[in-house]
Amino acid sequence: MPTTGNTAPWWRSAVIYQVYIRSFADGNGDGVGDIVGLRSRLPYLKSLGVDALWINPWYKSPMADHGYDVADFREIDPLFGTVAEAEQLIEEAHGYGIRVIPDIVPNHTSDQHAWFQAALAAGPGTPERERYIFRPGRGPDGTQPPNNWVSVFGGPAWTRLPDGEWYLHLFAPEQPDLNWQHPEVREEFESILRFWFSRGVDGFRIDVAHGLIKDPELPDLPPRQDTGHPHWDRDGVHDIFRTWRRLADEYGGDRAFVAEAWTDTPERLAAYVRGDGLHTAFNFDFLMASWDPKDLRTVIDDSLTLLSAVDAPATWVLSNHDVMRHASRYARKTVRRWSPTEPYRPDGPPDPALGTRRARAAALLMLGLPGGAYVYQGEELGLPEVEDLPESVLQDPIWERSAHTDRGRDGCRVPIPWSGRTTPFGFSPDGASAAPWLPQPANWGERTVQAQTGDKTSMLELYRTALHLRREHPALGDGTLTWLDSPEGVLAFSRGQGFTCVVNLSAEPYPLPEHASILLSSGPVEDDLLAPDQAAWLSA
Ligand code: NOJ
C-alpha cells in the first residue's frame, strides 16, 4: 500500500466502506454479488473517497447465515469467486489506494466444516468433539438441553444429535460454536490469519469477538445478570486477541483489526482496544442511540473519554447488514433507541423525507467526529430499509427461527441500484440469467448511482464531498473535539484548526455561530439559519 505523509496509523481515522458482497455487484449474472462485480466497482469506491473496504464473509459456505457459517476459511465460495480472484481484488484495490479487510468468523463454523463433520462421525467422548461444545443432556434420559442458553436467532442454543449428545450454537444450528479452550482451535485461526495476511489483506473484522470464551461450567443464565455473563464478553477473550495482535504486528503495513464486540458498557468495550489488544472496535452505542441531542452527546462523550483513556480511536457507525437502515430508523418522528436483545420495531409508518433529512445531518455528524467511520453500502445513496419485502422472499434464518415473529435483516440487504430505470438497476449485467436474490423496489431508479452522480442535492454527492473534505481538512479524522456553547437541542463542536460542526436536532431554526464560510451543509442554509434536522461544517 502507498504510504501517506501522515504518520498516524491509517486505522485511527479511516473511513471504511462495508461491502455486503452478496448484494453489492453481480459480475456473472446469477443474481448474487461477487468478487468480479466488486472489482468492477473499485473506480466508484475510489471516487467516493473511502480508505478501506470491509468485506462480509466470502469463504466457502452453505449459506445458512449468508456466509457467517464457514465451511472452509481458505476457500472462497464459488458463488463469490476464487482465491485467485480475491488476490486480484486485493491487488487492484491497493492500486487505488484502498485497503481490504475481510470478515473472520472465529466463534463458530458451518456444520459442514470438516472439523464438525469429523466430530459427528467420531461420536460421543472422542477428541474430535472437543473442538466444539458437545454435552450430554439433562434429565433422566438426557432429553433436556444441557442448560438454558438461547440462540441469538431465537429458540434454544442447543441441538440434539441422534446419538444423544447435544451441541452448542449461539446462532443457527448450522453454526456450531467452537471450543476456544482447545489449543488446536487457537492454532487453526492463527494459521488462517496468516493465510490471508500473506495474501495482502490489511486486517480483519472479527465476528462475535465477545463470544469466544464460555464459562467452562456452562451454568444456566441467571434470571438477572448482575455479574459476568456465562458466554458474552468474558475476560478470557482478551488473551486470544493479544496473540492475534502480535501476529498482525509481524506483518508490515499496519494491519488492523476491528472487533464486533457487544458489551454492556463503554468501559467493557474499551477493554478490547487497550494496550496490546486489538486496534479498534465498532462503536454500536452510536448506532443504537435515538435521534436525540442528549442521547447522542452522552454516547459521544462516553466513547471518547473511555477510548482516549486507552489511546484507541473511536469508530462511528450508523448502519450495517444486521440493523434497520438509519434512513428508515430516523424516518419516524420519535426514533426508538435500539436494544440488541430485541428486534427493532419502529414507531409508526415512515416519513421518508424526514428520514433523508436526518440521515444527511447524521452523515456530517459522524464524519465530523474524531476517529474513524464505517459507511454501509447504499447508505451513501440514502437507501431506506425495504420494509415490505413479501414474506415469500425472506431468507434470513431469523424469520424461521423466530416462528415468523421477526422478519429479520433482509430489508437492509437488498441489492444495490447502480443504473437504469428498472430492476436489476445495473446490479447484474444485461442479459443476466437470474433476478437479484432479493427483489429491489420498483422506484429505486431515482436512487441509483447513475441518477445521483452530478446532482449536487443528492445523498451520494453529499457523501462524496464530505469524504473528500475529510481527507483534505487537517482537523478531521483522528483527534479530539471541544463542545461549544449551544442551546439544548443543538450539538456544536470544534475540531480545532478553525473547523466547527453544528447539528440542529431541535424544532427551531438555529443561527449559525460566527464563521468565515460554510464548507458543507446537509441542506440549503438561508440567512445563516440552520433548519431543524440539518447539519453544517463551518470554517472559522
Ligand atoms: C454477527 C454478524 O454481523 C451477523 O450477520 C451474523 O449473523 C452473526 N454475527 C453470526 O455470525
Report the 10 Å Cβ neighbour count for 155. 15
Rounded distance between C-alpha atoms, residue 54 and residue 356, angstroms = 25
461 exposure class (CB count in 10 Å sphere: 0-12, 13-18, 19+) = middle
List the residue whose alpha carbon is closest to atom 5 of ligand 1. 322
List the residue whose alpha carbon is closest to atom 6 of ligand 1. 68
Q: Is the CB of residue 146 less than 8 Å from the CB of residue 138?
A: yes
Among candidate residues 512, 532, 465, 494, the one with its CA nearest the CA of residue 368: 494
455 is an active site residue: no
Measured in Å, residue 152 CA sits from the centre of ligand 1 at: 9
Position in ligand 1 atom list of the atom nearest CA 322: 5
CB proximity list for 300: less than 8 A, separation 6 or greater: 286, 369, 481
What's the pLDDT band for 223 if we cut at 50, 70, 90?
A: confident
Position in ligand 1 atom list of the atom nearest CA 208: 9
Taken in order 210, 212, 215, 218, the sign of the CA dihedral is positive
Q: How far apart are the first and last CA of the chain?
A: 35
Measured in Å, residue 536 CA sits from the centre of ligand 1 at: 35
439: which DSSP letter? Answer: P
Q: Is the CB of residue 313 less than 8 Å from the CB of residue 283?
A: no
183-197 and 237-250 are packed helices; what angle lies between their axes, rounded to 10 degrees? 30
CB proximity list for 160: less than 8 A, separation 6 or greater: 137, 143, 145, 166
- Taking only the tens place, the pLDDT of each residue in 22-43 is 999 999 999 999 999 999 999 9
From 65, 400, 402, mutation site for ligand 1 pocket: most ligand atoms within 8 A of C-beta: 65
From residue 454, give the alpha-carbon distance in Å to each of 419, 449, 465, 537.
14, 10, 11, 21
- Over residues 396-402, the mean pLDDT reads 93
- Over residues 329-357, the mean pLDDT reads 93
Task: Check residue 340 and give its pLDDT.
Answer: 85
Measured in Å, residue 65 CA sits from the centre of ligand 1 at: 8
- Over residues 298-308, the mean pLDDT reads 96
From 178, 258, 322, mutation site for ligand 1 pocket: most ligand atoms within 8 A of C-beta: 322
Position in ligand 1 atom list of the atom nearest CA 105: 11
Task: Check residue 4 and give its pLDDT.
Answer: 47
Position in ligand 1 atom list of the atom nearest CA 68: 11
CB proximity list for 392: less than 8 A, separation 6 or greater: none
> Can you spell out the DSSP letters for 202-265?
-EEEETTGGGS---TT-PPPPSS--S--SSSS-TTHHHHHHHHHHHHHHSSS--EEEE----SS
Measured in Å, residue 100 CA sits from the centre of ligand 1 at: 19
- Over residues 6-13, the mean pLDDT reads 88
Rounded distance between C-alpha atoms, residue 200 and residue 206, angstroms = 17
Task: Check residue 321 and give its pLDDT.
Answer: 98
From 18, 19, 171, mutation site for ligand 1 pocket: most ligand atoms within 8 A of C-beta: 171
Pocket of ligand 1 (CB under 6 A): 65, 68, 105, 171, 207-208, 260, 321-322
CB proximity list for 155: less than 8 A, separation 6 or greater: 401
List the residue whose alpha carbon is closest to atom 10 of ligand 1. 68
Rounded distance between C-alpha atoms, residue 356 and residue 362, angstroms = 10
Parallel, antiparallel, or unpaired: how do β-strands 490-496 and 499-504 relate? antiparallel
List the residue whose alpha carbon is closest to atom 2 of ligand 1. 207
Q: Is the CB of residue 412 less than 8 Å from the CB of residue 319?
A: yes
Q: Is the CB of residue 347 less than 8 Å from the CB of residue 333?
A: yes
Measured in Å, residue 62 CA sits from the centre of ligand 1 at: 15
Parallel, antiparallel, or unpaired: how do β-strands 315-317 and 372-376 relate? parallel
List the residue whose alpha carbon is closest to atom 4 of ligand 1. 322
459-472 and 352-368 are packed helices; what angle lies between their axes, rounded to 10 degrees? 10
Give me the domains of the chain, ranges plus CATH numbers. Answer: 10-104+202-209+254-463 (3.20.20.80), 114-168 (3.90.400.10), 481-539 (2.60.40.1180)
Position in ligand 1 atom list of the atom nearest CA 107: 11
Half-sphere exposure at residue 529, Cβ-oriented, CA atoms within 13 angstroms: 8
Q: Is the CB of residue 276 less than 8 Å from the CB of residue 245?
A: yes
Among candidate residues 219, 230, 222, 232, the one with its CA nearest the CA of residue 265: 232
Q: Which of 34, 85, 177, 207 is catalytic?
A: 207
What's the pLDDT band for 3 if we cut at 50, 70, 90?
A: very low
Q: Which of 141, 217, 250, 347 is catalytic?
A: 250
Position in ligand 1 atom list of the atom nearest CA 65: 7
List the residue whose alpha carbon is closest to atom 8 of ligand 1. 68
Measured in Å, residue 171 CA sits from the centre of ligand 1 at: 8
List the residue whose alpha carbon is closest to atom 3 of ligand 1. 322
207 is an active site residue: yes
Task: Check residue 339 and give its pLDDT.
Answer: 87
Residue 192: in which H helix or E strand, if any? helix 183-197
Alpha helices (H) in 28-113, listed in sequence order? 35-40, 42-48, 83-95
Whether residue 108 is predicted with pLDDT greater than 90 in this model: the reply is: yes
Whether residue 278 is predicted with pLDDT greater than 80 in this model: the reply is: yes
Among candidate residues 64, 137, 134, the one with its CA nearest the CA of residue 105: 64
* Percentage of residues of the chain with pLDDT beyond 90: 94
What's the pLDDT band for 250 if we cut at 50, 70, 90?
A: very high
Measured in whole angstroms, the distance separating CA 241 from the mean position of its chain's CA atoms is: 19
